[in-house]
Amino acid sequence: MLRMRSLLPPLLFTLAYAVVSLGVTNSYYQLILTLVPVWAVFGLSWNLLSGYTGLISFGHAAFFGIGAYATALGQIYFDISPWLLIPVAAMLGGIAGLLIGFPTFRLQGHYFALAMLAYPLAILYVFEWLGFQEVTLPIKRDAPIAYMQFADPRFYTLLGLAIMLATIVLTQMIERSRFGMALLAIKQNEAAAEAAGINTLAWKLRAITLSGAIAAAIGGFYAQVLLVVTPQSVFGMLVSAQALTVAMFGGVGTVWGPVIGSVILIPLAEILHAEAGARIPGIQGVIFGIAIVCVILMAPEGLFWKLRDLVRKRSAKATTDVPPEAAAANVTTLKPAARQRAAKGEVMLEVKNLSRSFGGLKAVQDVSFKLHKNEILGIIGPNGAGKTTLFNLLNGFLKPSQGEVLIDGRNMSGQRPHVICEAGIGRTFQVMRPFLRMSILDNVVVGAYVRARSDDEARKMAADAVVRVGLSAVADRVAGELSTKELRLMELARAIAGQPRILLLDETLAGLGHGEADEVVAVIQQLARDGMTIAIIEHTMQAMVRLVDSFLVLDHGAVITEGLPEVVTRDSRVIEAYLGKKWVGHAAN
Amino acid sequence: MLRIEGLSAGYSAKPVLNDVSIDVGAGQFVAIVGPNGAGKTTLFKTISGIVKPSGGTIIFDGVDLLAVPPPQRAHLGIAHVPEGRQVFPSLTVMENLEMGAMTESGRRDWQANIERIFEWLPVLKERRNQFAGTMSGGQQQMLAIGRGLASSPKLLMLDEPSMGLAPSTADFIFERLIEIRRQSGLTMLLVEQRVAEALESADHGYVLEAGHVVLQGNNATLRADDRVRKAYLGM
């Protein structure tokens, strides 16, 4: 059902575009109409990597050019038809993506963007040295159709549209699948994505391979349309920039962004070139540049998102949506219960002599403890005591210098985070990084893929997790509209969606008011009753003493003491190092 | 010192502050407490000029603050110690403090200020050449306070200085604030979620809920108030 509904808009758009283009007879306008889908597809290929993962590529011309030259040279030297060469070009582009991605994904942020810039520039000079300054495709008068050489340029437009439609549908499929979710998760927080069980390197490589393949295919088609290829026209800076321009103008991270950008910008640039440029040479660039700057200033995320926000606001006003209080009232809020200590079950997690130092600093030294089934263990200690470092060692963000982390008796220390997540450890983070534009449910789905075999199963598991944290009434709201408490609960839902057996919670109550903290505490208690084993770091001691079964107290990276809450909170070393005398006074009240 | 009258503010269509009036006398230590989303941080942002109000006035030291462009406001003597500390991680402690002394009065009184800051917060002196990012949360909070003091402010605004700190560290921070005020007579405006500690430290308090001031009074009255005891002190 869903698939059919999302198929309709691109299909209608393509049909309408085809009808319009068939009516155009001026060959110059026909060329413009062909270039629109070409750059739209190129923008889509860029969007697939950079829009969804947030790793900006300044060098997509590398793939485009490889495709163009493969198509041109294949015809010249081997007399192969472009019908065959374009798929071959796509394969070469995919391989190039893999080869480029493997070393380059070590870099992040600006460094990744700059490294990507280098590839097309380097290849450009290689092709110049090889003597391919200007390659003209051979004209095949005897079998034009077999060599994709049409007398009527409108066929090129139709072919370009077909490629565009295929790319849009492919992108839409990816968007809704585990692939798209993984890429979005990487964009928001790569570390959190790893912790949610996503093998980030593998997904990024898949994205750049596919992106490179699409870019190379459309590069090959571009060569076929223009019948001439030069290094500058396919490997040049402006080509890479074109992908960014159409995608950013139209909207990054959405299938419609590059299409909108291309439909508006390409004809605008060409017409300016022909009309204004004829009178004052060069003025077209100035007008074009100003137009882009204006749109970016008014809609920094691109036209698509701006329009969607406007539509949302209007429809929100029209329906005078349910006030959050009313929605919240539908949720039966759990009340924190008196602690009923569970009988000590089997050992779920055993930490043996775990140590980690940074330079000379011993952040965690010789920490050992056991976590039993259904237990809630509170980890407390002063700031800088090594609590978060301990969590990072447990879930694989950091490799221990020494010691073992045994899950079900198997030593998992030193494994990658997504492997440890698969073994059954989920976690949340001090700093929340929700996907603000996505609904609660979509946010939570990311965490479910580690266990789910299909997209449907993942959605079902996510919905289940949302119910368990008590957010089902607001599951369709966009995360950007949520309160801190709801965001914390959503993070919790994401962590439990993958059905971990052990949950590591890092300051889940931070920034919450008194009553709010109680609600979250109640949810955590319920999770423990349902069979989850939990370790929680938290400073809100009032809530902690009611929540946990036992405490582990760290100071300077080492365990000071561990034991029952009422014993630990009276321990003079704990009061000295952590609680302070005042707290003891408050607690007495 | 600071008089806020009928202040309303919000983001696009969503009002966050609604007709809020707050008075901070010279030398007073005023705490604003309330649950998440009550508008505490927005109030601070409106005072420092990050958020534009839709109505009301703010008079600081006899000057209509809303007529002063935001970057100039720090020069009037308002220091904002932001939520989450926001120290410059790759600068040393000393450099962070120097960044605080960018105001005219801060540059003029630098020598005297730095001595007093080191006296009040000795850990900063000990670690003056350490990179701020490598310090613990409590130390970073002290640095953020020191940076605020380095501008020679007339009003020190503190946004949740206890956030994410161990109980004993938070206690220590509040202790230091009380001590700094006792010695300097500095006017302080504090926003806190740790209601008990905040009301203990300050001499006057406001309870902000859903953008409205619902309760105000001196610290003894507030701490004795049934609603405060129930909703915030958990008694």
Q: Range with the lowest mean pLDDT among A406-410, A481-485, B92-96?
A: A481-485
Q: Could you report the per-residue pLDDT of A306-325, keeping only the tens digit for each?
A: 888 888 777 766 654 444 44
Residue A540's pLDDT band (cuts 50, 70, 90): confident
- Where residue A587 falls among pLDDT bands split at 50, 70, 90? low
For A81-109, how does the pLDDT look when each residue is reduced to its tens digit (9 = 90+)? 999 999 999 999 999 999 999 999 999 88
- Taking an 8 Å cut-off on Cβ atoms, the answer to whether A577 and B193 are in contact is no
Distance CA(B167)–CA(A227), nearest Å, equals 73
Question: Which residue of A383, A485, A586 is in closest CB contact with B196?
Answer: A586
Beta carbons within 8 Å of A223's beta carbon, 6+ residues apart: A67, A68, A69, A71, A72, A137, A229, A234
Residue A328's pLDDT is 42
Of A483, A511, A541, the CB nearest to B163: A511
Distance from CA of B211 to the nearest CA of A (A): 15
Interface with B, mutate which of A514, A547, A584 (most B CBs under 10 A): A514
Residues of A within 8 A of B163 (CB-CB) are 510-511
Contacting residues of A for B197, CB less than 8 Å apart: 582
State residue A85's pLDDT score. 96
d(CA A333, CA A515): 11
Instruction: Look up tokens 């380059």; give the residue.
Output: A104
Angle between helix A455-468 and helix A484-497 axes, rounded to 10 deg: 130
CB contact under 8 A, B165 and A383: yes
Measure in Å the smallest separation between the Cα of A570 and chain B Cα atoms. 14
Looking at residue A439, what is its pLDDT? Answer: 85
Q: Confirm or reject contact between A582 and chain B (CB < 8 A).
A: yes
Of A380, A383, A583, the CB nearest to B137: A383
Given a cut of 70, whether residue A331 has pLDDT beyond it is no
Task: Please give the residue that has the higher pLDDT: either A539 or B119.
Answer: B119
Q: Is B71 on the interface with A (CB under 8 A)?
A: no
Q: For chain A, give the mean pLDDT.
A: 87
Res. A35: pLDDT tops 90:
yes
Chain B: give the shortest CA distance to residue A326, in Å: 16
- A485: distance to nearest CA of chain B, Å? 8
Residue A586 confidence class, pLDDT cut points 50, 70, 90: low
Number of A/B CB contacts below 8 angstroms equals 74
Interface contact B60, partner A, CB < 8 A: no
- Per DSSP, which regions of A23-164 are E strands? 135-136
**B231 touches A at CB < 8 Å:** yes
Regarding beta strands B29-33 and B187-192, do their DSSP bridges make them parallel or antiparallel, or are they unpaired? parallel
Q: Does A382 touch chain B (CB under 8 A)?
A: yes
- B37 closest CB neighbour out of A380, A381, A483: A483
What one-letter code names the amino acid at B211?
A: G
The answer, for B35 touching chain A at a CB cutoff of 8 Å, is: yes
Confidence of residue A256 (pLDDT cuts 50, 70, 90): very high
Asked if B163 and A382 come within 8 Å (Cβ–Cβ), the reply is no
* 172-201 in chain B: CB under 8 A from chain A: 172, 193, 195-197
CB contact under 8 A, A383 and B171: no
Give residue B135's pLDDT.
87
| Neighbour count for residue A491 (Cβ, 10 Å) | 24
Q: Please name the helix (run of DSSP H) or strand (run of DSSP E) that holds residue A347, with its range, or none.
A: strand A347-358
Domain formed by A347-424+501-588, architecture: 3-Layer(aba) Sandwich (3.40)
User: According to the model, what pLDDT value does residue A232 have?
Assistant: 93
pLDDT value for A273: 83
In 3D space, the residue among A135, A128, A49 whose CA is nearest the CA of residue A96 turns out to be: A49
B217 at A interface, C-beta within 8 A: no
Q: What percentage of chain A exceeds 70 in pLDDT?
A: 93
pLDDT of residue A326: 39
Looking at residue B227, its pLDDT comes to: 81
Judged by DSSP in three states, A350 sits in strand
Is A529 a residue whose pLDDT tops 80?
Answer: yes
Q: Where are the domains of chain A?
A: 2-235, 347-424+501-588, 433-500
A541 contacts B167? CB cut-off 8 A: yes
- Compute the half-sphere exposure of residue B220: CA atoms within 13 Å on the CB side of its CA: 0
- pLDDT tens across A238-255, in order? 899 999 999 999 998 889
The closest of B83, B32, B178, B187 to A582, measured between CA atoms, is B178
| Cα B176 off chain centre by | 14
Q: Model confidence at A334, in pLDDT bands (50, 70, 90)?
A: low
Q: Which of B137, B170, B196 is opposite residue A384, by nearest beta carbon?
A: B137
The answer to whether the Cβ–Cβ distance between A580 and B171 falls below 8 Å is yes
Q: Are B32 and B208 in contact (CB under 8 A)?
A: yes
pLDDT in tens, A164-211: 999 999 999 998 888 998 898 888 878 888 888 889 999 999 999 999
Distances in Å between the Cα of A284 and the Cα atoms of A31, A34, A242, A547 are 18, 20, 15, 67
pLDDT confidence of A111, banded at 50, 70, 90?
very high
Residue type, B6: G
Q: Cβ contacts (< 8 Å) between B234 and chain A: which residues?
A: 514, 542
pLDDT category, A546, cuts 50, 70, 90? confident
pLDDT score at A329: 39
Give the closest of A383, A513, A582 to B171, CB-based: A582
Cβ distance of B166 and A430 shorter than 8 Å: no
Distance CA B58, CA B50 (A): 14
Closest residue to A539, CB basis, from B135, B165, B235: B165
pTM of the full structure: 0.79
Is residue B208 less than 8 Å (CB to CB) from chain A?
no
d(CA B232, CA B235): 8
The residue of chain B with its CA nearest to that of A384 is B136
- Residues with Cβ within 8 Å of B35's Cβ and at least 6 positions away in sequence, in order, are A513, A514, A515, A516, B193, B209
Query: Mean of the pLDDT values across residues A104-129?
Result: 92
Select from A383, A514, A586 the Cβ nearest to the Cβ of B138: A383
Position A323 scores a pLDDT of 43
8 A C-beta contact, residue B7 and residue B21: yes
Among candidate residues B193, B191, B210, the one with its CA nearest the CA of residue B18: B210
Q: Are A43 and A258 in contact (CB under 8 A)?
A: yes
User: Which positions 532-561 of A are in contact with B (Cβ < 8 Å)?
Assistant: 539, 541-542
Mean pLDDT of A23-39: 92
pLDDT on residue A343: 59
From first to last of the 235 residues of chain B, give the pLDDT tens digit: 899 999 988 776 677 888 999 999 999 999 998 877 788 888 988 998 888 888 899 999 999 999 988 888 888 889 989 888 889 999 999 999 999 998 888 899 999 999 999 999 999 999 999 999 888 888 999 999 999 999 999 999 999 998 888 888 888 999 999 999 999 999 999 998 888 888 888 989 999 888 889 889 998 888 888 888 777 766 5
pLDDT confidence of residue B88: 93
Q: How far is A486 from chain B (nearest CA, A)?
A: 11
pLDDT tens sequence across A372-388: 988 999 999 888 788 98
